[in-house]
Structures are given as C-alpha cells and as structure tokens.
C-alpha cells in the first residue's frame, strides 16, 4: 500500500508541475496527449484506492460538484475598495498626504488593475482551503468548488510558504477565451455574452462546477494578507507569491516618484490594448509594508493605495426623456433615458444626471445629443451636450416641483444639492427603499428576503415599515408571486435570525440620514444603547468624535418623530438588539477617555492592529498624525525620526508598548 501512495504522490506532483508550467508560466514541457495519459492514470489509481482521496488532487479540477446555495463567509481581513485618481494633481495630493504621515523615502509598486471578479483565496499548510468572493468587503460567497476548476489556481503550493495566509486577486476571462465562448453561443443560436468581466463574475456563481471547468477562466494574484508572512515590501510579496506557484503578472515595477508612476501609467494606457485581459487602470501602492501599517485605512479604503483610472471611454447618443427617481430618504434623482448605445462592453440605456444644478450647468434637454462616460462610477453619467446637434424646437428643462410618485410638493434646503419629497410615511418608494436598506447585507442581512419581495410585501399591504417584518407568517407570504413553501420558510427564518444582529448594524439599518456604517459604529460605541442615543441632546451628539452639526441634527430629527419612536419600541418588543451586548461590553473601559493617541513603529508583544483595538476598547481615539492635540505616542522600534522630533518639540510623552499595556492593566 505504501508503494501505491508513493505512486499517487509522484503522479500528483508531476501533474501539478506540468499544470504550473502550462497555465502559469505559459511554458509547457509536455504535450497535451502525454498530460492526458498521466491524468487518466492518476484517475484510475484514485478510483481503485479511494482511501487515498485528496481534495486538492489535479483530478479534482474537472468539477462536478453542485452547489445550490453559496454559503456566506465573513472575511477574516476586510476586502477594502480603492480610492480613484484621474490626474497627476490627484496623485501629488495623495503623495503629500502620505508624506505627512510616514517618515523616510517612499517607494511605490505600480501594478495593472485587471477588470475581473475580486477573489480571496485562503491556504493552510500549502493547500487551498477556501475561495470567497469580495461580496460587500465584509463577507462574500464561498465559491471554492468552482475556483478549484481554474487551472492557474494552485491547489498545492511549492517552496517555503507561511502556514496560513490569504491571497487576493481577480478572476478574469481572457479575450481569446471569451471570443471562442461567444462563437459557440452564436453557432448554437444563443445570445452572445456582453463582456468578459461580467461573464467571469457570473461563471463563479454557476451551480455546477463541471460547467465552470469548461470556461477558460484565469486567476491573477496581487496581494498577500495575514500575519508573519516573512515579507517586508509589496514588491517582495509579489515575487514570493510567484515562487509559491501563483500566477502573478510580471508587469509590476518599483517607482521612486510620482513622475515614475506616471511613466508606467502612460506606457500602459497605450500598451494595455495588446494585453490578453481587460484592464481599466493602474494600482499604485506604498511599497514598504511597515509604512502601509502606519498609514492604515479610512472607513472605505487603504490610505496607502490609489487606483489611477485610464481615461474613460466616451460615446454620444440621444437623450429621449428625463425621468425622476425617489430614493429611500426622499431624495429625487433625475435619470436620462437614452437611445441604447454600446459603452465599455455593455449596452447603456440610462445615465445619471445627479441633480437640478447639473441639469442647469450643462443645460441638458430632452432631444439633445449627449456625451456619456463610464468613469469611476458603475452608473454611466452625462458629461457634455453636443450643442451643434440641438433641435431647433428645443425647450429648456424645467425641474419637477412635485414628487413623481405621490404628488407631494418637493423641498430643497439651503446648501443641499438635491430636492426631497417630505412625505416620509406616504411615499411608496421611500417606504420600500427604507425596508430594502434595513434587510441589506451590511445592515440586518436577512437571508431569503430580497428587494423585489420587499416591494411585493408593501404593495400587497402586508408591511408598511421594517418593524412589520417580525409579524409576518409563512401562511401570509406563500401566496406571493414566485414564493413556494420552502422559500416562505427561509424568509420567515431569516427574519427571526436577524434578531441576533449587533446594535451597531441595527443602528445603521434603521436608516437615519447621514448615519452610514462608520457613524453608526461610533454612535453605538459611545452611547451603548438606543435609549441613551434618543435621550442625547444635539449639543451632546456634537461632542462625539467625528459627529458634526449635520449628523447631530439628522439624529435628533429622526428620534423626534413619534412614528419612528413607535417603530423603535416595536423592534424592542420583538427582541432586536438595541443595545451593546454584555459580551461586547466585557473588557470595555473609559481609562483612555478623551485621549488622542498615535501608534508608531514596530512592536514586539502585540501587533499594531491589536494596539489600536486596545486604545478604542479603553475609550481612547487613535490618531494617524501627531499634533498639539495628541495625548501621547505609543512608540515602537523603528519609529520615524521626524515623528519623534515632532513629538519631542511639542512636549508629547512617548510610551513604549510595555508602559502602555501597564496603563490599561495588561501586565
């Protein structure tokens, strides 16, 4: 039996190496025929000896596993989006911000931004254990069975790799493969796919992994994530990942200045058209990983990275009609309904015009020939009007005065770009929009309940606000369109499970204007219960870190409405989490209340992330730069000399990590 296992291991290792040479290095060292013979021999041996089954064997790439429901998995490390830049000035501003926050010279790694489906792969002991889509950045779908069929994804690593880590990248569909797929579809009388990116993304959600295996997908990797990875720069991490067997594009370069970055950008703005994949820009990252840690993150993106977008494609078409949409907050958005036109691989029929000021500024009118662009935003926008082609009988656009849904007179407060419908409880799109926001993934994440079903429930008179969800029964929802008994059961169970969602997400879910995820977290942490938040005066709210007048007014306005208090009381009665749990409160103190603390350098006993967490758990505020408002600095090894000098010149105390841990009671 030992000989059989040795033979299996030998065949698997050989096939992995040939697979790597062919799909990653593009340098085959064996014919397709010989490869197939070896694969067949391995399959026969594995079938004869199922006791030696290996889920990461090369034979498992053919797929065949069926996934009916993709499990939602929380990312161990959040997958952030990137801030965008479009000019040299944007990059210079970014560089200035960086140099204020870190010491020493700054180098940049420049990489191409591939347009695919973002993916996080987790490896343990060199084996692929999990592949999860980006999702909302906090959690995504487990698509491991499908990703295992992609030949450029190593199932077993080689070399000296960390025991556990994640690697992020893009699943892409090369142009050649995309074109062949479309030729087959057209030959079969089927509609061709619209573009490679959407086709790649859709492939990952096919239920039969055998079907995914037939698609020529590739996986391009670019970012190692985890702890103790044995690398000190982004460029080194790319080289390491390549040596472990990953397909890491070779085009990345090191740049010492923004001018060198722009050389890379300008080169690839032209040369990208020769690449086998779709690209839409360049990603520039601070190369030094310690500097990356110093810079940290905003609520949405890393401060140490920037996406420089290539000039957006632009087309012209006719604007047939301007219609108006009502959002969940009552905000009115004008929408341009266009003569359909091809733009960046998709057919565009609608474009955003943002608000009345934009209409006036560009003098946009129905019947105009307009220029449409798909830039950083997903939704195309009108950027200009072709006045030469304007019809002689053209009429200036008169912005609507009444809500297009309920007829209520619109309002526009001073300093606000948008018009609003004030009919909070009687305007159908606002009611539906608020409930759709409440059930969304980042909010209550109610499984089995989607936006269309919410609209059906409201239109059928079964619910009129999100607290009504908790009284729904299976019998009430079964008669709804496309609702079977199992679906109805899942919906009711999903609503019940949402009662476990923590307070900070509930606070975001209830839909107070200007209270996004980050603000909701701050308010939940500060007040710890909905009752304390309701009782807070506007002046008290304004004293909370990063809560300005606008947010404070909105919070007070929300809770001053009787109907909102009624809904909150109903949520309480149903057992929704409207205060921070005992478990979350455990370990929280106010030892550092009112203190602004900077963390700088490399630490021995706890990580920088853990230090920041400890500061916040003990009531302090983590600041990224030293100023006269800084209470003290937790200084580690390799703290930047200019930061040290600045702290000393301002008379700010420097504590080492042992001193700091003693202050908060950790010996």
Q: Under a CB-based contact definition with an 8 Å cutoff, are residues 83 and 283 in contact?
A: no
Q: Token pair 């963390």 is at which residue?
A: 599
Could you tell me which of 311, 308, 315 has the C-alpha nearest to residue 351?
315
Residues ≥6 apart with Cβ < 8 Å to 288: 106, 107, 232, 233
User: Distance between CA atoms of 251 and 279, rounded to whole angstroms?
Assistant: 13
End-to-end alpha carbon distance in the chain: 54
User: Distance between CA atoms of 334 and 323, rounded to whole angstroms?
Assistant: 6
The half-sphere exposure of 652 on its side-chain side, counting CA atoms within 13 A, is: 23
User: Distance between CA atoms of 446 and 448, rounded to whole angstroms?
Assistant: 6
Residue 222, helix vs strand vs coil: strand
Angle between helices 2-23 and 32-48 (to 10 degrees): 150
User: Distance between CA atoms of 477 and 492, rounded to whole angstroms?
Assistant: 9
Could you tell me which of 285, 287, 143, 288 has the C-alpha nearest to residue 211?
143
Residue 60 backbone phi and psi in degrees, to 5 = -80, -5
Exposed/middle/buried for 125, CB within 10 Å: 0-12, 13-18, 19+? Answer: exposed
Q: Under a CB-based contact definition with an 8 Å cutoff, are residues 194 and 346 in contact?
A: yes
Could you tell me which of 143, 209, 211, 134 has the C-alpha nearest to residue 170?
134
Establish whether 88 is a catalytic residue: no
Q: Under a CB-based contact definition with an 8 Å cutoff, are residues 80 and 258 in contact?
A: no
Residues ≥6 apart with Cβ < 8 Å to 387: none
Pairing of β 596-600 and β 381-385: unpaired
What tokens were used for 98? 């960086």
Residue 386, helix vs strand vs coil: coil
**Identified catalytic residue from 7, 113, 486, 556:** 113
User: Distance between CA atoms of 103 and 176, rounded to whole angstroms?
Assistant: 46
Element containing residue 224 per DSSP (H, E): strand 218-225
What tokens were used for 83? 């801030």
Ranges assigned E (strand) in 331-468: 332-343, 346-352, 369-373, 381-385
User: Distance between CA atoms of 272 and 280, rounded to whole angstroms?
Assistant: 9
Element containing residue 462 per DSSP (H, E): none
Residues designated as active site? 113
């Amino acid at each position: 039996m030992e000989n059989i296992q040795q033979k299996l291991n030998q065949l698997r290792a050989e096939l992995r190496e040939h697979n790597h040479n062919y799909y990653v290095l593009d340098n085959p060292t064996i014919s397709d025929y010989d490869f197939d013979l070896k694969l067949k021999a391995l399959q026969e041996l594995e079938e004869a000896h199922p006791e030696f089954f290996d889920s990461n064997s090369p034979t498992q790439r053919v797929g065949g596993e069926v996934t009916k429901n993709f499990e939602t998995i929380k990312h161990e490390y959040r997958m952030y989006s990137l801030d965008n830049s479009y000019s040299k000035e944007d990059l210079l501003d970014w560089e200035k911000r960086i140099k204020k926050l870190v010491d020493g010279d700054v180098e940049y790694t420049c990489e191409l931004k591939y347009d695919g489906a973002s993916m996080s792969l987790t490896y343990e002991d060199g084996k692929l254990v999990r592949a999860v889509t980006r999702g909302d950045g906090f959690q995504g779908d487990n698509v491991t069975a499908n990703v295992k069929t992609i030949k450029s994804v190593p199932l077993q690593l080689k070399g000296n790799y960390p025991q556990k880590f994640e690697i992020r990248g893009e699943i892409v569909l090369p142009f050649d493969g995309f074109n062949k797929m479309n030729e087959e579809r057209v030959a079969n009388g089927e509609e061709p796919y619209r573009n490679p990116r959407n086709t790649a993304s859709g492939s990952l959600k096919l239920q039969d992994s055998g079907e995914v295996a037939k698609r020529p997908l590739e996986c391009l990797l670019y970012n190692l994530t985890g702890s103790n990875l044995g690398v000190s720069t982004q460029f080194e991490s790319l080289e390491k990942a390549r040596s472990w067997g990953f397909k890491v594009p070779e085009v990345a370069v090191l740049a010492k200045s923004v001018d060198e970055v722009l050389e890379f950008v300008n080169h690839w703005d032209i040369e990208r058209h020769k690449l086998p994949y779709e690209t839409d820009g360049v990603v520039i990252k601070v190369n030094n990983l310690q500097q990356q840690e110093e810079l940290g993150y905003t609520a949405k993106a890393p401060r140490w990275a920037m996406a420089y977008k290539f000039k957006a494609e632009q087309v012209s078409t006719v604007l047939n009609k301007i219609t108006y949409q009502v959002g969940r907050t009552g905000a009115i958005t004008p929408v341009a309904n266009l003569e359909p036109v091809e733009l960046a691989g998709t057919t565009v029929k609608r474009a955003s015009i943002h608000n009345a000021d934009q209409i006036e500024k560009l003098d946009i009118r129905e019947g105009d020939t307009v220029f449409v662009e798909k830039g950083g935003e997903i939704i195309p926008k009108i950027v200009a009007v072709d006045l030469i082609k304007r019809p002689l009988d053209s009429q200036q656009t008169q912005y609507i005065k009444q809500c297009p849904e309920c007829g209520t007179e619109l309002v526009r407060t001073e300093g606000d770009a948008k018009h609003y419908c004030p009919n909070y409880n009687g305007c159908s799109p606002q009611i539906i929009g608020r409930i759709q926001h409440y059930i969304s993934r980042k909010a209550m994440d109610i499984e089995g309940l989607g936006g269309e079903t919410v609209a059906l429930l409201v239109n059928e008179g079964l619910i009129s606000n999100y607290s009504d969800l908790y009284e729904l029964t299976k019998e009430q929802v079964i008669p709804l369109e496309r609702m079977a008994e199992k679906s109805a059961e899942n919906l009711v169970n999903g609503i019940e499970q949402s009662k476990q969602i923590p307070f900070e997400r509930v606070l975001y879910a209830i839909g107070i204007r200007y209270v996004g995820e980050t603000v909701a977290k701050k308010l939940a942490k500060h007040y710890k219960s909905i009752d304390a938040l309701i009782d807070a005066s506007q002046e008290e709210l304004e004293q909370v870190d990063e809560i300005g007048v606008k947010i404070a007014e909105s919070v007070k306005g929300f809770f001053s409405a009787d109907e909102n208090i009624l809904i909150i009381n109903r949520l309480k009665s149903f057992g929704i989490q409207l205060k921070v749990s005992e478990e979350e409160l455990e370990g929280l103190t106010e030892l550092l209340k009112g203190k602004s603390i900077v963390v700088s350098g490399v630490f021995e006993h706890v990580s920088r992330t853990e230090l920041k967490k400890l500061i916040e758990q003990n009531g302090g505020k983590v600041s990224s730069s030293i100023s006269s408002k800084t209470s003290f600095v937790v200084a580690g090894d390799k703290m930047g000399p200019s930061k040290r000098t600045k702290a000393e010149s301002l008379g700010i105390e420097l504590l080492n990590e042992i001193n700091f841990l003693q202050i908060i009671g950790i010996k």
